[in-house]
Every structure is written in C-alpha cells, then in structure tokens.
Structure 1
C-alpha cells in the first residue's frame, strides 16, 4: 500500500508493507512482521511497536 498525505494514522498489523509520504504528523501502530517505509519528515507518534515490526526512513 502506498499513500501521500499531510497527516495520517497507520495501523500495520500481522504482515503488512506500507509505503508513506507524510509531511506533518504520523501516528503509527506497527506489529507482527509488518514494515513501514517512511518518506518525508513528519512528527511521529509511535503508539504500538511490537514483535519484529520495522520502521525504515527512506529518502
């Protein structure tokens, strides 16, 4: 899944691959074997980050 936005809340559960380009604020719930790839430089609120989940900053 890919999306661009000013602000977003992302729930990546179990085995998700999410590509985001967020400019202002991002609330994240990441668990399981999920991977979130982040473009942009938003303020991040990491609400859930468990199991083998990954958050990777991209250029």
Structure 2
C-alpha cells in the first residue's frame, strides 16, 4: 500500500509539459526500442486503449 500512496503523491506533483528535452528524447528512444522488439504488431483489439503509439 505504501507504494500506491507514494505513486499517488508523485502523480499529484506532476505538471503538464514539464519533461525536459532530454527526458522526451529518452521516451522516444524507449518507444522505438519497444516497437522494434514487438513480435506481433498491433491487432486493433483495443485492449491497451488509450493507445499512445
């Protein structure tokens, strides 16, 4: 439960558009890496909606 409370408190402090350019680049790199490693492309099942890809 402590982890959940910690996550909630962290989320409360978040601000829109607050990521740095370096953080955004890291997110793009992670997204690209995950897409390259996917063995099955999106099937359109909508399970993961809202999809951020």
Q: Which has the higher strand share?
A: 1
Query: Under a length normalisation based on structure 2, what TM-score does the superposition of the two structures give?
Result: 0.20
> RCO (CA 8 Å, sep 6+): is it higher in 1 or 2?
1
Which of the pair has more CA radius of gyration? 2
Query: Under a length normalisation based on structure 1, what TM-score does the superposition of the two structures give?
Result: 0.19
